[in-house]
Structure 1
Amino acid sequence: MTTEPVPIAPPGAPPAGVLATPADKGLRTGSVGLAAAVALGLSSVAPAYSIAVTLGFVTLVAGQFAPAALLLGFVPILLTAFAFRELNRAMPDCGTTFVWNTRAFGPFAGWLSGGWVVQCATVIAMTALAQVGAGYFLDLLGLDGLAGSSLAVTVTAALFLAGATAVAYRGVQLAAAVQYVLLALQLVALLGFGIAAFAKGGALTPQLSWLDPFGFDGFGAFAEAVLLCLYIYWGWDALITVNEETKDSSRIPGQAAVISTLVLLGTYLFTAYAAISFAGTGTEGLGLGSEENAGDVLAALGPPVVGDAFAKVVQLAVCVSAVSALLTCVVGSSRATLSMSAHGALPKAFSRVHPKYRTPSFGTVFFGATAAGVLAVLTLLSENFLGDAILCIGLLIAFYYGVTGLACVWFFRGDLRRSTRDLLLKGVLPAAGGLMMLAAFTRSAYDMVDPAYGSTSVGGVGGVFLLGAGSILAGAVAMIAARARFPRFFRYGRTAVADLTVHDTSGSES
């Protein structure tokens, strides 16, 4: 496995000239190449599903400037990807944000923003992906009655979760092989849809002006559209959680992160241009400004664009998109908690690695079962409650991406005067991305307090805000309990993640 030296040692980093190598946690090292890492990153975003369920809502806000919103929403994502790349080069650990934020800001920030918040967002996303995939699957089979049944959809979703857990349990190599097929189907379906839409002609002629960042009707519309777009790019960072299994752990995951985000941008802009040029942004008929079409643009436009037969292929692509993202969520979450456990911040059970498959056995099953339990509870409480839970993911994304962007700047602050490259890639760009994300977090939180935001409210406060802020608050409470359970991790601060503690049988943290 190739490693690269860290030229200058920021506070808490390895000394100058010392290779930054991931500590052995029992995973199968050197088994994931660049193509597999990119496939995992793209699949975790669920591009077909994401653009299908988001483009309509972005168009409702931005009209024909929806492509501009997609482009602007991409900017903080790309800047954050640079932060992830630089941090991974110095600390290629499958704990990613947990390790990086701990080394930069200390154990409290690392445990909460890099660990708890990330896992909360992922579990909530898993419930949504499983439910969406189940609904599409039943509809594809022509089982309209079951597709409309909450119980049938929940049971099918639980089966999808079980299947994804089983594949992830068998190893990241199998998961990557499955993702190649699922990702190829998504990209072919979106490409076919776009080509057909352009070939048919339609309501509007494509214009470069649709990318005009100053075309929005006021700052409120601009901010809302960009916030919506943050969600459709989220998930690519799951590929970095397999960095310890990648052939060049300090280089390839960072490259894959940048490549996957650029591929997403191209895919989304192509699909958006095709859909808007064909259907327009009107509020009647097939127009993307119609609220009836907003929930699933590809389902509404599929039959008239590509015919009923190929429309089923597009529908299948959205279904497998959700399922493939679900699989990647299981892979990423189990490795993140493996690292937290190995560094003494979670119970030892999470560090168990299967002797044959070399996967986090307990963590994989834990997250599959937890997501199934959360799905069942939220569905029993209210279907609207589940919808609000999905919306709150944006708040959690902006929070931990923002903190990680600033962590990059603080960790590498000693490097920033070495060269123009270091100043830009370790300082200016990550700082800009982090500040943009935290601004999005603040704006989102402000908007979500409104009881009219989302579908539920409690005591005059929006349910989406209560779920998002409540998840962070619950993490703070859980962290207090964790501090008592794992005192060594919280006592030694930034140096606590420098060495593995899971093999130490002394002390309460092991």
Structure 2
Amino acid sequence: MPNPIDAEARTGPVSTPTGKGLRGGSVGLLGAVTLGLSSVAPAYSIAVTLGFVTLIVGDLAPAALLLGFVPILLTAFAFRELNREMPDCGTTFVWTTRAFGPIVGWLTGGWVVQIATLIAMTALSQVGATYLLQLLGLHSLASSSAAVTITAVVLLAAVTSIAYRGLHLAASVQYVLLGLQLAALLGFGAAAFARDGAATPSLAWLNPFAFGDLGSFAEAVLLCLFIYWGWDALITANEETRDGDRVAGQAAVISTLVLLGTYLFTAFAAISFAGTDAAGAGLGNPDNAADILSTLAPPVLGAAAAKVMELAVCVSAAAALLTCLVGSSRGTLSMAGHGALPRAFARIHPRHRTPAFGTLFFGAAAACLLVLLRLVSVDFLGDAILCIGLLIACYYGTTALACVWYFRGRLRDSPRDLLLRGILPLLGGLTMLAAFARSAHDMYDPAYGSTSFHGIGGVFLLGAGAIAAGILALLTARTRFHRFFRDGRTTVAELTVTED
């Protein structure tokens, strides 16, 4: 049977380097959707989130998943429209710079995105390493902080080498990894529905008006935002995608819809089988919340098949790591190409046509950050992961509003433009910024997360600290990259630096 990537590549034009030196036409729509889904790590995301959502809202978890999807979909429309107008692998950096100027673009479209991704990579490598050791039967090592950290660094090195060799190879690997995840989740759901005693799913579980109070509703929806985050990484491959100005945007919307269907199916199946009781295997049991699929897989699938679910979560983390590296290195490639970062980030490997320096830099940076946070405290690492939600809401909201502002002069051209470039992105942006404010309020509480300092939550300090560090980095960058910060919006309309 022929390789689907090879077959897909043969149907399109011959791959040629783009203006930044990337290999154009490396993937099509299917490959772009696969990259987007893989970056979200669906098996891992639903495993570690569904239990916590159920603890808050019980059997209304599917309703929370649905409501959390709404601002994501609205934001996806903004990404699609901006990508059609400005197909650049820098995505949010380029778009927010064109709309709001270089300061906002560098900070929210560049720094915040890269820091959120870097922190996420530490979490994904740790999760992947833990599951890998468990799968190999090395349970004593899986409970050892040092062993997990060493394995995580090795895992980072492996995915960095794949990302270094090119998007074509990365997409080929992602087909296999994503296929395993979706097959495991669908198999789990089908088996759970078929088990004796499983409750009949109810449409009442999707009722958005049944939440008891606004606080629990907001908290559950904020948790759900996290499990959809990452699909936008596929758009950073727009210069390597055939018809990237059109296909990458389509892939963004398709991937979010596939995620919604997969998550709702899994949530309905888990609630039908286990219920929301606070004892035993119930989803309301706090002891099960951290990884609900590991708890339910053995009674649903049997001990042997449950190993497949563990494997799915492991490869889910690895697949997301790979896409994070692909996205981050291309984001900094664009920033360097437009004169907003050192020239080294614009270097392209002469044979693989990948951002060689950027790929190695982010692989090494994630490894160093993981080791540093582990040395400080395991709790500190956990709180660093929790602060990602604040960063996500910040740059998603800013990008959605950038769509409205950039197209403001054309919103009256047609009903389509008014809806897809104005109303929907505006609603998405305002919702995301409201989520940002709510997240900041909740994280300020010293009881939020595992650490605090002088009565202020450690999660808030890490999130706000990451943004504050970005402001300091911005001030430093302004002294070095004069043309970018002087000429503003015009610098991202052309390449200032090309490959060495």
Normalising to structure 2: TM-score of the pair?
0.96
Q: Following the alignment from structure 2 to structure 1, what is the Cα–Cα distance between the partners of residues 18 and 32?
A: 20
Give the letter for the 2:470 counterpart. Answer: G
2:440 is matched with 445
2:75 is matched with 80
Match of 1:338 among 333, 336, 350: 333
Question: Per-residue deviation at 1:205?
Answer: 2.4
1:501 is matched with 496
1:416 is matched with 411
Task: Answer yes or no: is 1:271 the counterpart of 2:259.
Answer: no
Q: Following the alignment from structure 1 to structure 2, what is the Cα–Cα distance between the partners of residues 357 and 178?
A: 16
2:22 is matched with 27
Asked if structure 2 preserves the Cα contact closer than 8 Å seen for 1:201 and 1:277, the reply is no
Question: Per-residue deviation at 1:198?
Answer: 0.1
2:95 is matched with 100
Question: Per-residue deviation at 1:422?
Answer: 0.3
Give the letter for the 2:35 counterpart. Answer: L
Cα deviation code 1:336-363 (max 9, x no counterpart): 0000000000000000000000000000
Q: Following the alignment from structure 2 to structure 1, what is the Cα–Cα distance between the partners of residues 496 and 298?
A: 57
Task: Answer yes or no: is 1:214 the counterpart of 2:201.
Answer: no
1:139 is matched with 134
Asked if structure 1 preserves the Cα contact closer than 8 Å seen for 2:74 and 2:427, the reply is yes
Q: Following the alignment from structure 2 to structure 1, what is the Cα–Cα distance between the partners of residues 77 and 196?
A: 38
What is the correspondence of 1:63-462 to structure 2 with a 5 Å cutoff?
63-202=58-197, 204-462=199-457
Give the letter for the 2:64 counterpart. Answer: A
Structure 1 residues 493 and 306, CA gap change in structure 2 (3 angstroms):
same
Asked if structure 2 preserves the Cα contact closer than 8 Å seen for 1:170 and 1:357, the reply is yes
Task: Give structure 1 stretches of 5+ with no counterpart.
Answer: 1-21, 506-510
Asked if structure 2 preserves the Cα contact closer than 8 Å seen for 1:112 and 1:476, the reply is yes
Moved more, 331-340 or 204-213: 204-213
Cα deviation code 1:234-257 (max 9, x no counterpart): 000000000000100110000000
Cα deviation code 1:169-224 (max 9, x no counterpart): 00000000000000000000001000000000435321001000111120000000
Give the letter for the 1:177 counterpart. Answer: S
Asked if structure 2 preserves the Cα contact closer than 8 Å seen for 1:194 and 1:271, the reply is yes
Give the letter for the 1:479 counterpart. Answer: L
Give the letter for the 2:37 counterpart. Answer: L
Partner secondary structure for residue 296 of structure 1: helix
Give the letter for the 1:262 counterpart. Answer: L
Asked if structure 2 preserves the Cα contact closer than 8 Å seen for 1:333 and 1:367, the reply is yes
Cα deviation code 1:302-338 (max 9, x no counterpart): 0000000110001100000000000000000000000
Asked if structure 2 preserves the Cα contact closer than 8 Å seen for 1:23 and 1:93, the reply is no
Asked if structure 1 preserves the Cα contact closer than 8 Å seen for 2:125 and 2:153, the reply is yes
Partner secondary structure for residue 357 of structure 1: coil
Q: Following the alignment from structure 2 to structure 1, what is the Cα–Cα distance between the partners of residues 25 and 188?
A: 37
Q: Following the alignment from structure 2 to structure 1, what is the Cα–Cα distance between the partners of residues 499 and 449?
A: 47
* Identical columns (%): 73
Asked if structure 2 preserves the Cα contact closer than 8 Å seen for 1:202 and 1:279, the reply is no
Asked if structure 2 preserves the Cα contact closer than 8 Å seen for 1:388 and 1:464, the reply is yes
2:466 is matched with 471
Cα deviation code 1:422-473 (max 9, x no counterpart): 0000000000000000000000000000000000001110000001011001
2:8 is matched with none
1:40 is matched with 35
Partner secondary structure for residue 345 of structure 1: coil
Question: Per-residue deviation at 1:504?
Answer: 11
Give the letter for the 1:454 counterpart. Answer: G
Q: Following the alignment from structure 2 to structure 1, what is the Cα–Cα distance between the partners of residues 294 and 494?
A: 51
Asked if structure 1 preserves the Cα contact closer than 8 Å seen for 2:20 and 2:498, the reply is no
Q: Following the alignment from structure 2 to structure 1, what is the Cα–Cα distance between the partners of residues 198 and 402?
A: 47
Cα deviation code 1:12-65 (max 9, x no counterpart): xxxxxxxxxx97100001111000000000000000000000000000001000
Give the letter for the 1:268 counterpart. Answer: Y
Q: Following the alignment from structure 1 to structure 2, what is the Cα–Cα distance between the partners of residues 496 and 34?
A: 30
Give the letter for the 1:200 counterpart. Answer: R
Please tell me the root mean square deviation across aligned C-alpha atoms, in Å: 1.1
The structure where helix makes up a greater share of residues is 2
Q: Following the alignment from structure 1 to structure 2, what is the Cα–Cα distance between the partners of residues 313 and 31?
A: 31
Task: Give structure 2 stretches of 5+ with no counterpart.
Answer: 1-16
What is the correspondence of 1:476-491 to structure 2 with a 5 Å cutoff?
476-491=471-486
Question: Per-residue deviation at 1:414?
Answer: 1.1
Asked if structure 1 preserves the Cα contact closer than 8 Å seen for 2:347 and 2:499, the reply is no
Q: Following the alignment from structure 1 to structure 2, what is the Cα–Cα distance between the partners of residues 373 and 347?
A: 21
Give the letter for the 1:472 counterpart. Answer: I
Asked if structure 2 preserves the Cα contact closer than 8 Å seen for 1:456 and 1:463, the reply is yes
Q: Following the alignment from structure 2 to structure 1, what is the Cα–Cα distance between the partners of residues 371 and 300?
A: 37
1:15 is matched with none
Q: Following the alignment from structure 1 to structure 2, what is the Cα–Cα distance between the partners of residues 203 and 446?
A: 39
Asked if structure 2 preserves the Cα contact closer than 8 Å seen for 1:23 and 1:500, the reply is no
